[in-house]
A and B are shown apart, each in its own frame.
Chain A
């Protein structure tokens, strides 16, 4: 059973546009929610992460929005660039400092120039 559900599976955005990827979870014990970016042939790289005590976190062009009551969180990429084309994974863990990550299935983002 998928602990973290991610959508859409693929996303095509024009350069300069906003990319939005959504994730949902059921386990209320989750208290750490990272997003990873993965390029072909590489390992996932941590992009940005949030804890449920805040509703939004922004780092540069990347923003996580978190809705604790709905058990949903999303990644927004502002001013999307061709270099952002990659696969994005949301994840969650029960430990905010340690423990296994439960990953979504991934979203393949393509940004057209």
Chain B
């Protein structure tokens, strides 16, 4: 079946603008995760959802970052008043709750560049 998809693949914006990044998880996966990966670093956790609710949002760096998953499938990561330091690859992953392992399947990411 299809894997995790993310759109857009690349996003260039200007400092101060608002952006939305979309994630389509694997069909049937009820857990959805957002991570951020800076150049030369490992992915850094932002938030994860079980169904529609955020189970852990402790990784969101500040209140400019917000994520939703209104119907328990597609999720949108929203960043307000973007700053140059927000430039990174934003990764989405999904997993099947109830499986025997915490197997998270990642999408290709959205590369965000803030000019």
Contact = CB atoms under 8 A, between A and B. Distances in A.
Contact of A46 (B40, B91, B103): B103
A44 B109 CA distance: 9
Sort chain A's interface into a size bin.
20 to 34
Interface stretch (A14-22, A58-66, A72-80, A93-101): A93-101
Q: Which of A45, A51, A101, A105 has most chain B Cβ within 10 Å? A: A101
Contacts, number: 72
A8 to B, nearest CB: 14
Interface in B83-113: 91, 93, 95, 97-109
Contacts of A42: 108-109
A100 B33 contact: yes
Main secondary structure of the interface of B (DSSP, over half): loop
A44 B56 contact: no
Contacts of A91: 42
Contacts of A6: 42
Nearest to A102: B45
B16 interface: no
B44 interface: yes
Interface of A: 6, 32, 34, 36, 41-46, 49, 51, 89, 91, 93, 95-106
Interface of B: 4, 31, 33, 35, 40-45, 48, 50, 56, 59, 91, 93, 95, 97-109
